[in-house]
Amino acid sequence: MISRTDESRESAANFPSVISEDFLKASIETDWSGHSARFGWHCGPIDIMNAPFNDDPCVSKVNAMVCMILGPSRRACGTCIEVDAGAEQLRQHMEQTHNTHLTALSLANTAEAEEATGQRSLIQFVITGRWRTMMFEKEPGVGPANGPLQKLCDFFESKARNDDVFACIWGRQFHRREEPVSVLGKRSRNADAPLPDLPSSKEADRPAP
Ligand SMILES: [Zn+2]
Ligand SMILES: [Zn+2]
């Protein structure tokens, strides 16, 4: 169980530097949902073109702090909200930018059950690679500085370096990175060099007729 770290009414998920094995296991074993009926949206794509997004509660205070409303391109928005600004700021962005109609967040403190539900949702979002591979209109990078996504990615990449079993199951990369760019860069710099003369494996594996 992750202990509550603050009583701020507008705090986003505030992950401690260590997630216990028990909480991690419980998170992974729960069916993933980025949205809980009880607390609202935590993370993951929001498809407002095909499903109304006006639930109450709409946005949980325990959320990714990156707008993931899908646009006409079917990519998510990617606008990051500073963690200190609070989840209500994200809700206002969603309402003003995406023409949604969302109830303002309550002023009540985040309950322990909401913390746990949101944290489980965020853990799964990151550990399964959903965050790393999601397509955005505006590249959010690591998300807002010191936000829940950055902390989770740091935590899991550090864990993967020290835990081969974990790395075998979940991989070693959780942060978003622009991998294809560097590959293309290398290729284009060496565009004049002859490509190694490798047989096509498809051809080689095909049995002779
Ligand atoms: Zn947005
Ligand atoms: Zn409205």
Give the pLDDT band (50/70/90) at residue 16: low
151-189 burial by CB neighbour count: b if 16+ within 10 A, else e?
bbbbbbeebbeeeeebbeebeeebbbeeeeeeeeeeeee
Where is pLDDT greater, at 6 or 139? 139
Q: Note the pLDDT tens digit of each residue in 151-204.
A: 999 999 999 999 999 999 999 999 998 654 444 444 444 444 444 444 444 444
Which numbered ligand comes closest to the C-alpha of 98?
1
- How far is the centre of ligand 1, averaged over its atoms, from the C-alpha of 66 (Å)? 8
Please check the confidence at residue 30 and state whether its pLDDT lies above 90: no
- How far is the centre of ligand 2, averaged over its atoms, from the C-alpha of 158 (Å)? 42
- Average model confidence (pLDDT) across the chain: 82
Which numbered ligand comes closest to the C-alpha of 99?
2
| Ion ligand 2: protein residues whose beta carbon lies under 5 Å | 101
pLDDT of residue 181: 46
